[in-house]
Structure 1
Amino acid sequence: MEVKDIRKDNGVNGGVWVYTSNGEKFWGKKCVVMVGAWTKKIKEGNEEKYAIGGDFSTFGCQGGPHIFGTPSLEYLGLMKVMVHGGYPCDEHKRPWGPVMVLESLKEWVEERMSGMVDSRALVATQLCMYSMTADEDFVIDFLGGEFGKDVVMGGGFSGHGFKMGPVVGRILADLVLTREAKGVELKHFRIRRFEENPQRNVKDF
């Protein structure tokens, strides 16, 4: 019979469950996999688990290195895993310097993804540019001054705003249409928080 999946039993008994295509499943304390010419397929078949249509979400890991990523979306069968860090640059003169900490990134993928993702070689590398605030929190506010509440500002998403795109879009739309975002406390995201304290909303990771 065809084996479709192998899963660790996290219950009291531990061990491993083996699932087959005809719906049967088998349990054992240990499992040996010997599949001959199909060996290269072992890591394949997990793509749907890490795809945008499944239950795999965006993720982040604080510490060294600070890693974040997204499910398979832009490129079929590939996951985007990123290192949060870099150096200041002029947005009009974007540098294309060396990619950072690749070895630690590979180690992180291998450890966290439990061998389900091939971490031996990266398919592609790319530097990205994003706007950072001093506290890495968003700016969502009215521009004020002569514009009052006629101009709404959204920015400083510090590399992680894409994960909150839908809710930020809703807040900005509410501010434009009704001049308020009901049920949302926006004091934390005021533009002028840095005038009171340059390191506003400081966090200790």
Structure 2
Amino acid sequence: MRKLVKKVSGVQIPIKPLEINVFYWKVKEGHEGDFAIGGDFPTFSSHGGLHVFGTPSLEYPGLVKVVVEAGDTCDPDKREWGPGAKVEELKEWIKKSFNGFVEWREPVMKQACMYSMTPDHDYVVDFLGGHFGKDVVVGGGFSGHGFKMAPVIGRVLAELAVDGVPSGQIDIKPFGIGRFNNSPK
């Protein structure tokens, strides 16, 4: 999005692509139900020294997803995936946090992802403006959590493109391109 918008309009949106690694860790035998979806184990986010988030065992039975929300800047056109940000710190976090119920020494699986991260970790949903006025709508920079809002963001983008305004009480000003003009954070 950053490259496309810059090329088409000259507008610089401060989105940086980050490589993020999603890790799946084995729940120790006999405790699989404790970490399964529908049980008491929550989706979580820990904002201590290390920002970690995770979900119960869902995609892969017997495995819990735990991720460090940090990564290295990458070129989305030429990704050379590294070992993952803060893997050793994540292992220690799992060892301490899961009281021995999750095998912490090595993840069972790693999936490479890419986030389009804005400085404030929020979306860009706006008209391109400038020469294009309200003829071009942009949406991006979803900072790793946009997928959760995909239905409403899709609806808002479609309404902006067709009607020029979102329906209902949706205020898109906080997601505007202009918010980066005075304070990039």
Which residue of 59, 77, 80 corresponds with 2:44?
59
Partner of 1:194: 180
Judge conservation of contact 2:35–2:56 (CA < 8 Å) in 1.
no
User: For residues 180 and 82 of structure 2, what CA distance do their matches in structure 1 show?
Assistant: 30
TM-score between the two structures when normalised by the length of structure 1: 0.63
Aligned to 2:164: 179
CA contact (8 A) 1:58 1:163 kept: no
Q: What is the deviation of 1:55? A: 7.5
Q: Name stretches of at least 5 consecutive residues in structure 1 with no aligned partner.
A: 1-39, 200-205
State the 1:65 CA deviation. 1.1
For 1:171 and 1:61, how far apart are their aligned partners in 2? 30
Q: 42, 45, 69: which is aligned to 2:30?
A: 42
Who is 2:118 aligned against?
A: 133
With over 3 angstroms needed to count, the CA separation of the structure-2 counterparts of 1:76 and 1:148, relative to structure 1, is farther
Change (3 A) 1:64 1:138: same
Stretch deviating more after TM superposition (68-77 or 86-95)? 68-77
Instruction: Flag the structure with more relative contact order, 1 or 2, with Cα contacts below 8 A and sequence separation at least 6.
Output: 2
**CA contact under 8 A between 2:55 and 2:66: conserved in structure 1?**
yes
Q: Which has the higher strand share?
A: 2
Partners of 2:98 and 2:136 lie apart in 1 by 44
- Of stretches 107-116 and 90-99 in structure 1, the one that deviates more from structure 2 is 107-116
Partner of 1:25: none
Identity of aligned residues (%): 55
Question: Does the residue aligned with 1:67 lie in a helix, a strand or coil?
Answer: strand
CA offset at residue 116 of structure 1?
4.5
Match of 1:78 in 2: 63
Count of residues in Structure 1 that have an aligned counterpart in Structure 2: 157
Instruction: Please say if residues 99 and 126 of structure 1, whose CA atoms lie closer than 8 Å, have aligned partners that are also in contact.
Output: no
Question: Do the aligned partners of 2:116 and 2:142 also contact (CA within 8 Å) in 1?
Answer: yes
Structure 2: segments with no counterpart, 5+ residues: 1-27
Q: Which moved more, 1:102-111 or 1:139-148?
A: 102-111
Partner of 2:151: 166
Cα 1:103–1:156 change in 2 (3 A) is same
